[in-house]
Structure 1
Amino acid sequence: MATGYFQERALPPSQDGLSPATPSAGRGANALSSRITSVLSASYADLEIRDALETLDSRGVRNTAETRRQLRLDVQKEVIQCNGEIVKDFGAVAEQLMRIGLAIESLNKCCVDMRGHIAAANRETGPVLEEATSLMNQKKHVESKQQILDAFNSHFNISEAETTILTSTAEPVNEEFFQTLTRIKKIHHDCQVLLGTEDQRLGLEVLEQSSRQLNAAFQKLYRWIQREFKDLDLENPQINASVRRSLRVLAERPTLFQSCLDFFAEARENILSDSFHAALTGSNSDMRSIATKPIEFHAHDPLRYVGDMLAWVHSATVSEREALEVLFISEGDEIKRSIQAGLESEPWLRDQENEEPFDGRTALNQLVSRDLTGVARLLRQRTEQVIQSHDDATLAYRIANLIGFYKSTFTKLLGDSSEVLEVFTGLEASAMRQFRGNMRDHAASVQSEISVAPADLSPPEFLDEALQMLKALAKSYDTSLASVDDQENAFQSVLTEALDPFLSVCESLYKALPQPACDIFAINCLLVAISVLSPYSFAVDRVREMQDTIGEHRAKLVEYQHQHFTNASGLKSLLEALSDISDSSESLKAVPKLEPFKPDALMAASQQLDEFLPSALIDAAENIKHLRNRNTVQDVTEEAAGRFCEDFEFVESKIMAVDELLRDEEEDEDEDEEPRQGLREMFPRTGGEIRVLLS
């Protein structure tokens, strides 16, 4: 449409019958040019232009003079028609509004009439409503007081039946009793609310009443627990459950709880003491059958007798602790919490109690220890009687180890502070005193009887007996439960009593013997002692000390054998002569002038050496034949022979140096003179030959 419009606007003026030469044509051309410029300068993106063009396009308008003249009139006509329709529509609206106004006026009138009627009704019913409201408020207040009274009675008062259940000793201690007791405790606790009000009289009365009821209930519970403790069967779980609950509740009164524990400990002490006495002798005061034979009838060996008694005490302790653990500890920390609550409610008891909190395990161990007091007393009497009636040191030490074993067991079972451990400590010390006394008596008798060592230099009989006893003691100690860190130190006391005195006797015998018998005797004694102690790790230090001592005696034997080799071979005089000879030429020239190196003496020494060598090792071994260890005999002899070979090689080197020095001098002086006989020719043996012969 736009394209056609501009094309028609651009037609030549001749089509309109105007000449281009006329002035009007010139003005029209300028107007058209301005119009085109205006149109072309307009933006086709303008919404108003786009709407106008769309409107023209929808009407199918052609760009003609008639159309342009008629377009404005048509548009104005349409606008007038639209305005007329709008005026007509607003007239209808105005008519409706008039009708609505009339209806509103009628409604306002009705409302005014209704307000008048309502005001009149309010004036007539007002006093009645006020009176009804006052009565309703009074009713609510009375109902509220009644509810408070009912709640107070139900919460702070108990019935006569409940009071009887709580305080009467004729009524059983059952679930109903504990429920009522719990309720009374809650009432007593809630009295704090009443005491916080302005009028405290009611709170004080309820507090006093509940306190009396609580005290009566705890007294009833205390007496009931005491009756139960008299014939309590610790193996019956049903009874244990009721007593356990009662103890947990009674713990809120620490004084009564401790009194019950004291009563229980005394009862259990008597029961366990009677049971232990029956197990020992067979006497049965309560006429119950004993499944096993009495300990005193079948335990003839003292060690077994003590062991059976300790085993019975240990078994009874384990059973007692397990039963009491179920009775006192199975509820966790409830007893501890109850005791703490009781101390808070009775602060005057804190001066009598320790500041440390209650520990159930410690209290259990202390209770078990108290239960075993009578048993421990009887055990101490019987065990001390056994210890003092026997003079066997080994038996006393075994008993001490056995007691030490059970002492460590009871320490783990009852803790370090148990009173029962004091009994074990005393018995162990008594057994060790008996052991030391017996050993000292035996050592004193040995010292008075023995005067000389055996002829064959073997360990004396008393040492063999002592070592057999020491072997038994070491075996007993090895099977005990001595701690690894303390084993070696603890066994030193045994060695001090069971070995050192007898080694001291051997040492006195050793000092009276000549060389080499003294060293042989000492080595034999120490070797047999080492053979007894070496299997045990806790004696490693003592074994090492003995081995060092053996090394010292062995060195003396090596020196003795070496002296034997040098004396028997004739080498000693040569060594003594060469002791002051150095390697200088002046010193070496003096060797042939020495007495042992003169021809006759040197050839005699060579002859003596040849006679010594064939039987040298046999003769040397014969000197120390009494050594019990054949390997030691061989090692000592070989070491002495080696040192002898070194001495011979020293003499040989000096002889060869002297011969070489003299030979050089003779060659320098006169080559035609016949050489003299050298030292080597008079002493022909070589070091290699000596080593072969003595190997």
Structure 2
Amino acid sequence: MATGYFPERLKDATLPPSPAMSPGPTAQRSSALQSRITSVLAASYSDLEIRDALETLDARQVHNTAETRRNLRLDAQQELIQCNGEIIRDFGQVAQQLQRVGAAIEDLNKLCSNMRSHISAANRETGPMLEESTAMMAQRQQTETKQQLLGAFTSHFLLSDAEITSLTSTAEPVTDAFFQALTRVKQIHDDSQLLLGTEDQQLGLEILEQSSKQLNAAFQKLFRWTQRELRTLDLENPQLSISVRRALRVLAERPALFQSCLDFFAENREQVLSDAFYAALTGGFAQRIGGPASGKAIELSAHDPLRYVSDMLAWAHAATVGEREALQILFISDADEISRNIKAGREREPWLQITDGTDGEEVAAFDGKRALNDLVDRDLSGVLRQLRQRVEQTIQSHEDATLAYQISNLIRFYCSIFVPLLGPKSTIIQTLQPITQKAFEQFRTLMRDHIANIHSDVSVTPLDLSPPDFLLEALETLKGLMKSYDTSLANASSGEDRTGFQAVLEEALDPYLAGCDSISKGMGAPQSQILAINCLLATKETLKGRAFTANRLDQVDEAVEDQAERLVHTVHAWFVSESGLKRLFDGLKEYKDTNLGQGIAGIRKVREMQPDRLADMAQKLDAFLPGAMEDARAFVGKLADKRMVREVCDKAADLFVEEFESAERIVIGLDETILAEQGEELEEGMLLRDVFPRTSDEIKVLLS
């Protein structure tokens, strides 16, 4: 329509004005038409109003003709009038409907008025009843709330009859129900203290008192039940009763009851182990179970006293290890919880913070390892009493010093084993250490008695200068003592003190060496030195190879060297005496000591330097030298060490050669003086060298 309507209008609008038209009005109309056309052409198709108008025309299928354009306004107004008429007719129908609605509303208003009058009358009649019902509902709600509060309070703060029976009745066993009820009572006891801060304190006091009585009854029941269980507890079972362990953890909240249980258990175990030890000793039947299993009776199978003591100590050690392993689960696995419970119990009972009124020391925190060691220590106290009695009887009934020392060493070895198990301050260590000292004192007494009995042997001098029999016997005994001490060190800890054997040497060796020294002092040289050296060498042979005798070996070596040095001087004196040069050496030494500063010329006056005397000494020297070394070795031939014989003779020969060289230099010096004085007038045979021809080199060769 747009394409057909606007072009035609445009075409009509662009036609030239008719010449017949008058210029005035025609020009005005043309101007108005142009302005309208301009306004129409200026209108945009995108304008909504124009688009709506065009779409309306298009919908009505209006064709763009001159007649349509002329009647368009009339047609539109006519259509508008028709639409308004239809609207009026429709509103007339609506008015009629509204009249009917108004009548219906009026009827409803009348009904409502009637109903309001009836309702007002009913309200007047039911008002008191409603007020009473509302008050009753509010009262019911309050009652239900109080009932809920009472139920919650009762369920939290009061125990059921079944729980009270399980908690306090001794006829009921201690089961999980008991521990659950006990946990509830403890919670009630703690929560009841909160009630003391409220307005109704009386209720809190009553609940607190009731819960305290129930707690006391429950702990007393648990205490008695634990005692019964501990009395029949089988420690051979690697898994102890879980209920007993739980009971001990709970009883730790009452430190006094917990300690009483431990004391009761220790007394019971002490009796059990004592019976078992007595059964192991005698082969009897133990009335109670406990202690390591054993075969034959110790008193019947161990005929050797050392074996007897060793078996008893081994039984005690096995019992200690077994008891400790069995009880370890009671204190080590639950130590932290027991410690916390004991601490909480002491905080609730402040008067238990002080051990006693004397020292005022505060109770130390619970230590599971220490408690275990203390309990095992107490369990073995009965065994230790029997052990100490029998060991002391064994020591006193045998007068054997070696046995006494071996027992002392054996007990010391077991002490080193018990210390890591129970600690250095345990009862078993305090029991065994005095026995060790007593055994060593017995050893010392027997050794001194033995030394007193051999005084007659000390006065007898051995002909072959070998070590006396009493020394050889003492060295054999010392070997056994050293073996015992070495064995105890090998099995003890690496930090064992290896100087402890010094006291044994003082008792088992020094008196015998002193006896040998007394014998040697009563003999002349070289027999005294040879006997002393032989005794010392035998002692050295016995002591060597042991680390704990190193210090004494050094002392023996020094003594041997000292005696060997003395023997060298004795052999040297023998060389001087047997060679015939003693008077010569003594004369020269005396001259040197008394005539210092006079020179060599004065030596001519020495008697031993006269030619005739030198000739006599030279003759004796020549006779001595060929067999001098063999004779010297025969002189000290009773030395046990042949190598030392050669060394002593060689050193003595060296001293003899040195002294001879000194005399030789004097002879040569005198000959030079004579030659200087007489010159060519010297007669043959006037020189000292002619009558004393031996040189030091020749003597070295002959004595080598």
| TM-score normalized with structure 2 length | 0.76
For residue 622 of structure 1, what is the aligned residue in structure 2? Answer: 634
Equivalent residue for 1:523, pick from 533, 543, 565: 533
Equivalent residue for 1:684, pick from 680, 693, 696: 693
Matches within 5 A, 1:634-653: 634-653=646-665
Matches within 5 A, 1:150-161: 150-161=151-162
For residue 343 of structure 2, what is the aligned residue in structure 1? Answer: 340
For residue 458 of structure 1, what is the aligned residue in structure 2? Answer: 466
Deviates more, 1:671-680 or 1:566-575: 671-680
Matches within 5 A, 1:143-542: 147-237=148-238, 239-286=240-287, 292-352=295-355, 354-481=362-489, 487-542=497-552
Question: What is the rounded CA distance, in whole Å, between the counterparts of 2:504 and 2:688 in structure 1?
Answer: 64
| Deviation readout 1:528-565 (Å, 9 max, x if unpaired) | 11111122111122221122122221111111111111
Contact 1:569 1:608 in 2 (8 A): yes
Question: What is the rounded CA distance, in whole Å, between the counterparts of 2:628 and 2:418 in structure 1?
Answer: 67
Structure 1 residue 467, shift from structure 2 partner? 0.9
Structure 1 residue 190, shift from structure 2 partner? 2.1
Question: What is the rounded CA distance, in whole Å, between the counterparts of 2:457 and 2:605 in structure 1?
Answer: 59
Equivalent residue for 2:581, pick from 571, 587, 591: 571
Structure 1 residue 263, shift from structure 2 partner? 0.9
Structure 1 residue 236, shift from structure 2 partner? 2.7
Structure 1 residue 572, shift from structure 2 partner? 2.4
Equivalent residue for 1:549, pick from 559, 562, 566: 559
Contact 2:234 2:289 in 1 (8 A): no
Q: Secondary structure at the match of 2:364?
A: coil
Structure 1 residue 414, shift from structure 2 partner? 0.8
Question: What is the rounded CA distance, in whole Å, between the counterparts of 1:411 and 1:238 in structure 2?
Answer: 27
Q: Secondary structure at the match of 2:284?
A: coil
Which residue identity lines up with residue 201 of structure 2 in the other structure? Q
Structure 1 residue 364, shift from structure 2 partner? 1.3
Question: What is the rounded CA distance, in whole Å, between the counterparts of 2:238 and 2:403 in structure 1?
Answer: 44
Structure 1 residue 366, shift from structure 2 partner? 1.1
Structure 1 residue 259, shift from structure 2 partner? 0.9
Structure 1 residue 132, shift from structure 2 partner? 13
Counterparts in 2 of 1:295 and 1:152: CA distance versus 1, 3 Å: same
Counterparts in 2 of 1:591 and 1:297: CA distance versus 1, 3 Å: same
Counterparts in 2 of 1:239 and 1:321: CA distance versus 1, 3 Å: closer
Which residue identity lines up with residue 438 of structure 1 in the other structure? L
Contact 1:581 1:588 in 2 (8 A): no
Question: What is the rounded CA distance, in whole Å, between the counterparts of 1:363 and 1:149 in structure 2?
Answer: 47
Question: What is the rounded CA distance, in whole Å, between the counterparts of 1:487 and 1:511 in structure 2?
Answer: 36
| TM-score normalized with structure 1 length | 0.77
Contact 2:572 2:655 in 1 (8 A): yes
Which residue identity lines up with residue 550 of structure 1 in the other structure? V
Structure 1 residue 571, shift from structure 2 partner? 2.5
Contact 1:591 1:597 in 2 (8 A): yes
Which residue identity lines up with residue 475 of structure 1 in the other structure? K
| Unaligned residue ranges in structure 2 (runs of 5+) | 1-37, 51-119, 121-126, 357-361
Structure 1 residue 189, shift from structure 2 partner? 1.7
| Deviation readout 1:232-266 (Å, 9 max, x if unpaired) | 11123554322111111111111111111111111
Which residue identity lines up with residue 692 of structure 1 in the other structure? V
For residue 56 of structure 1, what is the aligned residue in structure 2? Answer: none
Percent identical among aligned pairs is: 53
Structure 1 residue 91, shift from structure 2 partner? 11
Question: What is the rounded CA distance, in whole Å, between the counterparts of 1:448 and 1:675 in structure 2?
Answer: 67
Which residue identity lines up with residue 519 of structure 2 in the other structure? L
Counterparts in 2 of 1:690 and 1:672: CA distance versus 1, 3 Å: closer
Which residue identity lines up with residue 362 of structure 1 in the other structure? R
Question: What is the rounded CA distance, in whole Å, between the counterparts of 2:682 and 2:379 in structure 1?
Answer: 116
Structure 1 residue 631, shift from structure 2 partner? 1.3
Question: What is the rounded CA distance, in whole Å, between the counterparts of 1:287 and 1:198 in structure 2?
Answer: 60
Matches within 5 A, 1:113-152: 147-152=148-153
2:642 equivalent to 1:658:
no
Structure 1 residue 154, shift from structure 2 partner? 2.6
Question: What is the rounded CA distance, in whole Å, between the counterparts of 2:140 and 2:380 in structure 1?
Answer: 72
Structure 1 residue 672, shift from structure 2 partner? 6.9
For residue 33 of structure 1, what is the aligned residue in structure 2? Answer: none
Q: Secondary structure at the match of 1:494?
A: helix
Structure 1 residue 566, shift from structure 2 partner? 1.3
Question: What is the rounded CA distance, in whole Å, between the counterparts of 2:251 and 2:432 in structure 1?
Answer: 35
Question: What is the rounded CA distance, in whole Å, between the counterparts of 1:431 and 1:584 in structure 2?
Answer: 67
Structure 1 residue 502, shift from structure 2 partner? 1.6
Which residue identity lines up with residue 442 of structure 1 in the other structure? H
Q: Aligned pair count?
A: 581
Structure 1 residue 139, shift from structure 2 partner? 8.6
Which residue identity lines up with residue 515 of structure 2 in the other structure? V
Which residue identity lines up with residue 346 of structure 1 in the other structure? E
Contact 2:272 2:288 in 1 (8 A): no
Counterparts in 2 of 1:607 and 1:536: CA distance versus 1, 3 Å: same
| Unaligned residue ranges in structure 1 (runs of 5+) | 1-79, 93-123
Matches within 5 A, 1:91-110: none
Contact 2:252 2:258 in 1 (8 A): yes
Counterparts in 2 of 1:85 and 1:148: CA distance versus 1, 3 Å: farther
Matches within 5 A, 1:666-681: 666-667=678-679, 677-681=686-690
Question: What is the rounded CA distance, in whole Å, between the counterparts of 1:494 and 1:274 in structure 2?
Answer: 38
Contact 2:571 2:649 in 1 (8 A): yes
Which residue identity lines up with residue 230 of structure 1 in the other structure? R
Which residue identity lines up with residue 680 of structure 1 in the other structure? R
Which residue identity lines up with residue 319 of structure 2 in the other structure? A
Contact 2:331 2:371 in 1 (8 A): no
| Deviation readout 1:133-167 (Å, 9 max, x if unpaired) | 99999998777655544433332222111111111
Counterparts in 2 of 1:623 and 1:134: CA distance versus 1, 3 Å: farther
Contact 1:403 1:428 in 2 (8 A): yes
Counterparts in 2 of 1:133 and 1:572: CA distance versus 1, 3 Å: farther
| Deviation readout 1:381-438 (Å, 9 max, x if unpaired) | 1111111110111011101111111112111111112112222112112211211111
Question: What is the rounded CA distance, in whole Å, between the counterparts of 1:528 and 1:215 in structure 2?
Answer: 79
| Deviation readout 1:33-58 (Å, 9 max, x if unpaired) | xxxxxxxxxxxxxxxxxxxxxxxxxx
Counterparts in 2 of 1:325 and 1:687: CA distance versus 1, 3 Å: same
Counterparts in 2 of 1:386 and 1:586: CA distance versus 1, 3 Å: closer
Question: What is the rounded CA distance, in whole Å, between the counterparts of 1:587 and 1:255 in structure 2?
Answer: 105
Q: Secondary structure at the match of 1:283?
A: coil
Contact 2:272 2:289 in 1 (8 A): no
Deviates more, 1:637-646 or 1:542-551: 542-551
| Deviation readout 1:612-667 (Å, 9 max, x if unpaired) | 11010111112212111111111111100011111111222222233234334444
Q: Secondary structure at the match of 1:479?
A: helix
- How large is the Cα RMSD of the aligned pairs? 3.4
Matches within 5 A, 1:555-634: 555-579=565-589, 580-581=591-592, 587-634=599-646
